Structure 1
Amino acid sequence: MNILIAPNAFKGSMSALEVAEIIQFNLLKFHPELKCQCLPIADGGDGTFDVLTHHLKGENHIVTTTDLLGREIQASLFLTEQDVAIIELTHVAGLSLLAPSEYKPLNTHTYGVGDLIRSALNLSCSKIILAIGGSGTLDMGFGVLRALGYRFFDKDGLELKGGGGNLSAIAKIDSQDFDRRILNVDFQIACDVENPLLGECGAAKVFGAQKGASCDEIDLLHQNHQYFAEIIKKEFQIDISKMKYGGAAGGIAAGLYAMCGAKLRSGSELVFDCLNMDKAIAGCDLLITGEGRIDSQSAFGKAPYVLAQKAKEMGKRVYAFCGTSEFLQNSPFDKVFPIKKESQSLTDAMKQTKENLRDAVSEMVKLL
């Protein structure tokens, strides 16, 4: 039997690679005759860089830049043998870089991401893949745009810097020093959510609180996003207010689409393309996937769900492991194995994820 092991990360517990290795080790312990292929997956959020660089050949480059509060930091940029640059936003602008006391949603910015993009251009890349999930910013890519040479001025002619709190002060955009090399590469953004920039499902309304914004700050940031979107519509004749994926990572997707020619894609689909996942599925008898929780939100572009749908269309059997789960109508999973034990609290279960996963694999083996 050929088994494809392609899990997402169990967020807060294990990386996708760790999950895949544990599943494979315990499968082969009981059935050494099985042929297993491990292809850990991601959806454009935290860990996408690790998943892609694990599979693709190339070289890692260390770039000295600044984090989302302007502090010096070193971050990785990966250049494949095909001159594709892999960049993950969380390395320099992720919420995980901040202590809760440091959450400053009006000030946090993406300038360091722009530094990484410029460094990729200096390496003569032909394509850039930017994974943007897990951001701690709401600046609509204001920092990236400044790093790439755009200059923004207020009504008094003073140059603007900082984060999303300053967007409403923009009165003029100067593109004279804009690094136009970005327009000549295939710039793709891996988005982990489909939310638009504005509205009740927009960037500030939905994700502002988790980035530390108060109710008043959420309203202010929403107004600032609307203001900047209107400027972009006037200057570039592009309406970014309601576009799919536009609200991803605090609106960076919308900003870079309009002002840098970026293509916005489902993070899951982009990763699957890089891993040649269709070919891997075609060659397996059983797909094993999973993530921290499988629930009603899984159907909205979560990588394991999308992968399971692909496999079912090809007539494959699909099993999934997860920390916890809820019943799904028309589920693409043939069997779901929640690994949290009934007697455990969620906190204890997350501390014992590896052991619980090992035990769950032992249960699954009985079905093979």
Structure 2
Amino acid sequence: MPKTFVLAPDSFKESMTAEQACQAIQRGIQNVYPDAVCISVPMADGGEGTVDALIAAQGGQKIECEVTGPLAWQKIQTYFGLVEEGKTAIIEMAKANGIHLLEPAQRNPLLTTTLGTGEMIKAALDLAISKIIIGLGGSVTNDAGAGMAQALGVKFLDATGCDAALGGGQLDQIKKIDLSGLDARLKQVEILIASDVNNPLCGANGASYVFGPQKGATSEMMKTLDNNLNHFADVVEQQLGIDCREIAGAGAAGGLGFGLMVFTDAKIRSGVELVIEQTKLADKIAQADYVLTGEGKIDFQTKFGKTPFGVAQVAKQFNKPVIAFAGVVGELYDLGFSQIIGINPPEISMEHAIAHASMYLEEAVEQYVRNYNFNELI
């Protein structure tokens, strides 16, 4: 009787989508066992690839839209996903306001905005959905979701009663929050945040100091940004009676986690747990003999909400062997895998590894399957 494999990798950053990784793993298996049953479940953890993974896993569709990019003058073509017969929208904030949309010299979290993310939410509401899942990874913003809220009708007024400017550098100008224009349809929609980080909004472990440097912030800018986030959170607490700045994940995506909780009543969840639920991964693993997962890098951070660890935890419930493949294998603790395999030959450059990742993943899987007695894993 042919063996059944569940293939549940994340994307391999800069080289393969999760779906492409599934295809490479399947080729590697079927090069050895042509009749093997392969159940592909492209995975994500709320970051890059979440929309595509859930569209692929659930037979959803892409909805094209034009929104504001990370800088207020940009217009970009992007998309979000519709699944569950059009009732659930999957939004990846990075598709509108991600770090990959700006060259390094353009990145300035004093100026970048989440306005486009709010415009995607508005476009989803226009389709009469009942649930929105928003992935927060890969942002280039630090505005606590103020831009997102503005797109949904919130007004932020300065001391003169005029609209405050966009961007994390202007949050300290906000003196009054006017919710009278907030899109009323938000009250009829369940909004879930898929986050792969648990940072609070402010302070040494907050959005500005931890993630600011990769978004172009200097040390002086980080101090300004953190002060501005604190000011914004103070105004929210004083005028709206909401204080969620210390909630784990409030600092995700430059504080977009905070803004979504305040202005849309969103609930924050582990990104990989949400994706596991949406893809019904447990049901698929229950019928498998073996589970193969992976992503670009597996190291000690993997256990803090990354996809392979989440997959391994589900497999553990059913006592299924889990083999993980990675481009880079770093320092490890006990992560619950039966085995972790590095796919790259030792002598190649990182550039070459990224360019040929699909081939190396297929070869590593094929070699492993060919040489290993799977019965020993059980």
Check whether TM > 0.5: yes
Q: TM-score, normalised by structure 2?
A: 0.95
Percent identity (aligned):
39
Aligned residue runs from structure 1 range 163-202, under 5 A: 163-202=167-206
User: Partners in 1 of 2:123 and 2:355 — Cα distance?
Assistant: 38
CA displacement at 1:95 relative to structure 2: 0.5
Provide the residue aligned with 1:27 in structure 2.
Answer: 29
Secondary structure at 1:213's aligned position in 2? coil
CA displacement at 1:62 relative to structure 2: 1.9
Aligned residue runs from structure 1 range 32-181, under 5 A: 32-70=34-72, 71-80=74-83, 81-181=85-185
User: Partners in 2 of 1:2 and 1:10 — Cα distance?
Assistant: 23
AA in 2 matched with 1:182:
L
CA displacement at 1:323 relative to structure 2: 0.6
Contact 2:24 2:359 survives alignment (8 Å): no
* Residue range with higher mean Cα deviation, 72-81 or 147-156: 72-81
Secondary structure at 1:30's aligned position in 2? coil
Structure 2 counterpart of 1:260, from 241, 244, 264: 264
* Residue range with higher mean Cα deviation, 206-215 or 352-361: 352-361
Provide the residue aligned with 2:342 in structure 1.
Answer: 338
Provide the residue aligned with 1:226 in structure 2.
Answer: 230
Structure 2 counterpart of 1:15, from 2, 14, 17: 17
User: Partners in 1 of 2:367 and 2:178 — Cα distance?
Assistant: 62
RMSD: 1.3
CA displacement at 1:56 relative to structure 2: 2.3
Secondary structure at 1:201's aligned position in 2? coil
User: Partners in 2 of 1:144 and 1:103 — Cα distance?
Assistant: 18
Contact 1:340 1:346 survives alignment (8 Å): no
Contact 2:28 2:364 survives alignment (8 Å): no
AA in 1 matched with 2:78:
A
User: Partners in 1 of 2:321 and 2:355 — Cα distance?
Assistant: 30
AA in 1 matched with 2:117:
V
Secondary structure at 2:31's aligned position in 1? helix
Secondary structure at 1:306's aligned position in 2? helix
Contact 1:42 1:271 survives alignment (8 Å): yes
CA displacement at 1:259 relative to structure 2: 1.8
* Residue range with higher mean Cα deviation, 9-18 or 70-79: 70-79
Structure 1 counterpart of 2:214, from 210, 228, 238: 210
Contact 2:145 2:260 survives alignment (8 Å): yes
Contact 1:152 1:174 survives alignment (8 Å): yes
CA displacement at 1:360 relative to structure 2: 0.9
Contact 1:126 1:185 survives alignment (8 Å): yes
User: Partners in 1 of 2:42 and 2:173 — Cα distance?
Assistant: 44
CA displacement at 1:326 relative to structure 2: 2.7
Aligned residue runs from structure 1 range 241-252, under 5 A: 241-252=245-256
Return closer, same or farther for 1:79/1:309 CA change in 2, 3 Å cut-off: closer
Deviations 1:250-271 (Å, cap 9, x if unpaired)?
A: 0000111012101111110111
CA displacement at 1:14 relative to structure 2: 0.9
User: Partners in 2 of 1:349 and 1:79 — Cα distance?
Assistant: 34
Return closer, same or farther for 1:290/1:222 CA change in 2, 3 Å cut-off: same
Structure 2 counterpart of 1:364, from 341, 361, 368: 368
Deviations 1:338-364 (Å, cap 9, x if unpaired)?
A: 012111232332222122212211221
Provide the residue aligned with 2:353 in structure 1.
Answer: 349
Deviations 1:184-236 (Å, cap 9, x if unpaired)?
A: 20111111211111221111010000001011001110111111111111122
User: Partners in 1 of 2:252 and 2:139 — Cα distance?
Assistant: 9
CA displacement at 1:75 relative to structure 2: 1.8
Deviations 1:112-170 (Å, cap 9, x if unpaired)?
A: 11111111111111111111110110111011100000001111212113111111110
User: Partners in 2 of 1:78 and 1:24 — Cα distance?
Assistant: 25
CA displacement at 1:77 relative to structure 2: 2.7
Return closer, same or farther for 1:313/1:79 CA change in 2, 3 Å cut-off: closer
* Residue range with higher mean Cα deviation, 286-295 or 258-267: 258-267
User: Partners in 2 of 1:177 and 1:314 — Cα distance?
Assistant: 49
Query: Where do 5+ consecutive residues of structure 1 fail to align?
Result: none
CA displacement at 1:327 relative to structure 2: 4.4
Contact 1:88 1:130 survives alignment (8 Å): yes
Provide the residue aligned with 1:235 in structure 2.
Answer: 239
Q: TM-score, normalised by structure 1?
A: 0.97
Deviations 1:49-89 (Å, cap 9, x if unpaired)?
A: 10011122444322222111121122213233141111111
Secondary structure at 1:308's aligned position in 2? helix
Contact 2:55 2:61 survives alignment (8 Å): no
User: Partners in 2 of 1:325 and 1:112 — Cα distance?
Assistant: 36
Deviations 1:277-326 (Å, cap 9, x if unpaired)?
A: 11111111110000011101001000111111221232110000001113
